[in-house]
Structure 1
Amino acid sequence: MEVVEERYGAEDRERIVPEPPKRVDAPERRPFERDRARVVHAASFRRLAAETQVVDPESDDFVRNRLTHSLEVAQIARDLSRALGTHPDIAETAALAHDLGHPPFGHNGERALHRLAADCGGFEGNAQTLRLLTRLEAKTSDESGASVGLNLTRATLDACTKYPWPLADAPTPGGVHSDGMTREGAKFGVYDDDLPAFTWLRTGAPAGRRCVEAQVMDLADDVAYSVHDVEDGTVAGTIDLTRLDRPAIWDTVRAWYAPDASDDLLDDVLGRLQRIGSWPETAYDGTRGSLAALKNLTSDLIGRFCGAVQQATFAASEGPFVRYRADLVIPADTWTEITVLKGIAAHYVMQADERVALQSRQRDLLAELVAVLLERAPAELDEAFRADWHAAADDAARLRVVIDQVASLTDVSAVDWHARLT
């Protein structure tokens, strides 16, 4: 670890507000270890336990919520980072934080809030994550008394920045999110009123380029949800890995992820995956043996994908794999295998009629909730957001406060607030 620590300089460890060393009788922790602890103890991190990943966590004790998903992404990111020689605490912290900005109802809620926030710069889950880390989470204030959020180091904040550009510079949206929602709004990583913190954390960074630690976090997220969504769908009874409707799945793959992929290519890729020794030969039946077999497949797939990326990355560069000195390399075959798994989950889980109908009701609920809070603010806002409302300079800023309040709710609390206020 000492060798890895030496690859990061004073600028990487710098915080927006300088902090003195901790008291001498406290356990010694390095700066990036302190970053990780701050995210783990954050209120917005605990909130993820009540956020749906794909399958409603109230429907089965086995399936994942956004908190367990984030923990699994963090484990994958840490292992891959350690193998590459990147700082594992930075990649793990970025993975733990990657879903903090998700509003109620995931990407469906994100889509609704982006429309509702049109007059204050839109809404984007990754930009909301940065806003939480640098403003909304209470930990540290600057000399003026303004919150700087968790006051993480520059290297950690940069690793948390999946889309390092504002809305004005964002590419045209396309494709779908991991949970099947069409990407209507552009993907961006910072709201205009958070640009000072963004400019600070991007000091010395090439414009529009992600650091390698952010690339590790992003890959870990893709690997986790591609594998785990199939696992959750299998346990929920919506996916049978021994009876896959290939033509229908391939249509979904082309519509959502890979429009140019041929049937022959996708057949070949699925064949490779099915030749993995742990791919099931009998349908999942809920027994311990069946569950163990499914968990072994999950482990083998994660190891397969990360091992291929590690080998390709080492073959392409001598490193060191620190910030902007190298990039992660994802082989085309590996990416197609991940895409096939996403397509299986998308076809059998994401496109279910009852799920589409539920998403429409959720968007209506958020629109009604934002409207009633705008009408009754600041009285109905939480105390912290009430103070933000009083400090807001104009209608756009006040709208942002209401959006922040709604985005801070869980799926369950959003429903409760809506029932109470409407």
Structure 2
Amino acid sequence: MRSHTDGGRERAIVETAASATDEPGAAGEDEFRVDVERIRFSPYFSRLSAVTQVIPQAGSGTTVHNRLTHSLKVSAVARSIAVGFRDAPDDVRATIERLGGCDPVVVQAAAAAHDLGHPPFGHLGEQVLDRVARTKLGLPDGFEGNAQTFRILTALDSCDATPRGLNLTKAVRAAVLKYPWTRNEWRALPPQSAELLPRGVGADSASGAQKFSAYSIEALEMADALEAFPAIGQYQQTVECSVMDIADDIAYSVHDLDDFYRAGVLQYTAVSAELNGWMNAQGALGILDAAELRAGVALRRPGYALEAAWRHTRAKDAWIADPDRFRQSVIRVIDDLVEGLLTIPYDGGLEADRAVSAFTRRWIDRLKASIRVEATPNVRSGHVRLSSHAWHDVVVLKFVHTRFVLDRSDLAVYQRGQARVIETLAEGLHLWLDDPDDSARAPRRLLDSIEAATIEYRELRANAPEFYSAVGLESSDADIARFGRSRAVVDYIASFTDAQAISVAALISGTSDNLWESGRSL
């Protein structure tokens, strides 16, 4: 038996091979299905339909993924992987059970929840909100989408069982902890090279982890969830979390190519020139010094950007990075993406639709078939990972995303405007709340959030004051009030859809007079 406690309520779940089934009447299934439904019925889940995935939805038609459709596809891939473990060899299933099990419903719940914390405008919004939270609002742990997800599940959302949080089982709470640490706990550790640190921490540990799954005020909640998995080592994901994380990588690297192809963003000539340019000049590129390589990347010389990506990969992940397998992956992407899919210009016709559907299915099936389970994984990996060949495939596919979509100047111009929206919201709300003559007229939801967050910080000071001293902070009543207000402002902004963020930013900056548009309430 594995005990799951939340808000004083015990939920005992049998974690055996039998309970890991997805058939009606399986032991423990009802408890996990409650978790799935609470997540799916959450307003935070619904808002994902209007939050950017990678490229903007506006003007792109109905084919572009948003955070909701992405989450649904991650759920489908993750469940398929978890169900597939039923037919794994005996030693693999024994390892999974010893590590805490892998229930397909838990995996579905985690996959559905994994992007709840994303703010408006996707990863761009995440980066800007983090910077503003740290530099303008004085929050040492800033903002992080994964940590915001955990905060939504455990504090911000509510259900019939508890006014704060969704009262989820420990299994599901642990399964969303992709980066099971706080930002600040790394500050006191001596600097280490990236290959010795868990994936997501970053090279500059003195400034805290880049990626993390809990803010300081949820640190005790995170530790409570992880207690149910004593066989999982420090800084490691649970098996169910690893499956969700792998499914996210698969969906991101394959499904988003679907978007870029349909939107006409990926062009045969540019992608072919870069990948074939690297293949044809691999030896010459390999002996360039760093300055020469940077200059070539800046000038967009074919092959230079891919060489830089390979060097970066090799430096961070020497445990798995292999030059021959990287080259083989480049060849596979050239053969199937460049000389396959991209030779058929997308025109909305049946041939193009069939081509992209076939491409997506081939690659998803290939990546799902490459899953490996490890009892003692590398610190930069997880208990569930892709094979070496598939891992390199994902690296190359992600490079295509970055080089030919994310680095585009037209997208950069659009994102500069989105960044300004986030900055305007943070600055405007902060100044409003700092105005003693008008702060009482701030939105009711924001004021309620300030009160709740302040109580959370006060409880943290009483129960775990080390989270303040770790970053050299005071914890007077005035400090607690400041932290509570700043965290509430971040929570408020992060809860907007793209359109809501633009609308409220226009209102608070005085550039819109549409006060009652669509009956909107702040």
1:43 to 1:281, Cα distance in 2 relative to 1, 3 A: closer
Tell me the equivalent position of 2:247: 220
Counterpart pick for 2:485 among 394, 398, 401: 398
1:70 to 1:186, Cα distance in 2 relative to 1, 3 A: same
* CA distance, structure 2, for counterparts of residue 112 and residue 275 of structure 1: 38
3-state DSSP of counterpart to 2:384: coil
Counterpart pick for 1:132 among 152, 161, 179: 152
Counterpart pick for 2:214 among 178, 190, 198: 190
Q: Which moved more, 1:148-157 or 1:341-350?
A: 341-350
Tell me the equivalent position of 1:151: 167
Could you list the per-position Cα deviations for residues 122-143 of structure 1 after superposition, in whole angstroms to 9, with x for gaps in the alignment? 111100000000000121566x
Tell me the equivalent position of 1:328: 384
Could you list the per-position Cα deviations for residues 260-286 of structure 1 after superposition, in whole angstroms to 9, with x for gaps in the alignment? 479875443232345569943732232
Counterpart pick for 1:300 among 355, 359, 362: 362
Tell me the equivalent position of 1:66: 67
1:258 to 1:137, Cα distance in 2 relative to 1, 3 A: farther
Contact conserved, 1:35 with 1:156, CA < 8 A, in 2?
yes
Q: Which runs of 5+ in 1 are unaligned?
A: 1-8, 22-26, 179-183, 320-325
Could you list the per-position Cα deviations for residues 152-194 of structure 1 after superposition, in whole angstroms to 9, with x for gaps in the alignment? 000000001111001123498989x99xxxxx97111111111
1:43 to 1:250, Cα distance in 2 relative to 1, 3 A: farther
- The CA deviation at 1:254 is 4.7
Contact conserved, 1:50 with 1:66, CA < 8 A, in 2?
yes
Query: Which of 1 and 2 has greater Rg?
Result: 2
3-state DSSP of counterpart to 1:347: helix
Q: Are residues 1:418 and 2:438 paired?
A: no
Tell me the equivalent position of 2:512: none
Counterpart pick for 2:272 among 227, 244, 269: 244
* CA distance, structure 2, for counterparts of residue 262 and residue 213 of structure 1: 28
1:190 to 1:381, Cα distance in 2 relative to 1, 3 A: farther
What is the TM-score of this pair, normalised by structure 2? 0.68
One-letter code aligned to 1:129:
T
- The CA deviation at 1:220 is 0.6
One-letter code aligned to 2:364:
I
Could you list the per-position Cα deviations for residues 54-80 of structure 1 after superposition, in whole angstroms to 9, with x for gaps in the alignment? 121122211111110111111000100
* CA distance, structure 2, for counterparts of residue 249 and residue 217 of structure 1: 35
1:169 to 1:68, Cα distance in 2 relative to 1, 3 A: same
Counterpart pick for 2:412 among 353, 356, 367: 356
- The CA deviation at 1:364 is 2.1
Tell me the equivalent position of 1:117: 133
* CA distance, structure 1, for counterparts of residue 227 and residue 11 of structure 2: 22
Q: Are residues 1:199 and 2:223 paired?
A: yes
Tell me the equivalent position of 2:394: 338
3-state DSSP of counterpart to 1:55: coil
1:267 to 1:329, Cα distance in 2 relative to 1, 3 A: closer
Q: Which runs of 5+ in 2 are unaligned?
A: 13-23, 87-101, 201-206, 279-300, 315-320, 377-381, 434-438, 455-479, 510-522
* CA distance, structure 2, for counterparts of residue 134 and residue 257 of structure 1: 39
Counterpart pick for 2:424 among 368, 371, 381: 368
Tell me the equivalent position of 2:113: 97
1:307 to 1:158, Cα distance in 2 relative to 1, 3 A: same
- The CA deviation at 1:253 is 4.2
3-state DSSP of counterpart to 1:244: helix
Q: Are residues 1:108 and 2:124 paired?
A: yes
1:281 to 1:164, Cα distance in 2 relative to 1, 3 A: closer
Aligned residues: 388
1:19 to 1:342, Cα distance in 2 relative to 1, 3 A: same
Q: Which moved more, 1:214-223 or 1:237-246?
A: 237-246
Tell me the equivalent position of 2:182: 166
Could you list the per-position Cα deviations for residues 304-358 of structure 1 after superposition, in whole angstroms to 9, with x for gaps in the alignment? 011011xx33xx57x9xxxxxx921321111111111111122211111011122
* CA distance, structure 2, for counterparts of residue 20 and residue 222 of structure 1: 31
- The one of the two structures with greater contact order (alpha-carbon pairs below 8 A, sep at least 6) is 1
Tell me the equivalent position of 2:85: 84
3-state DSSP of counterpart to 2:417: helix
Contact conserved, 1:141 with 1:148, CA < 8 A, in 2?
no
Q: Are residues 1:15 and 2:16 paired?
A: no
1:285 to 1:202, Cα distance in 2 relative to 1, 3 A: closer
* CA distance, structure 2, for counterparts of residue 77 and residue 249 of structure 1: 36
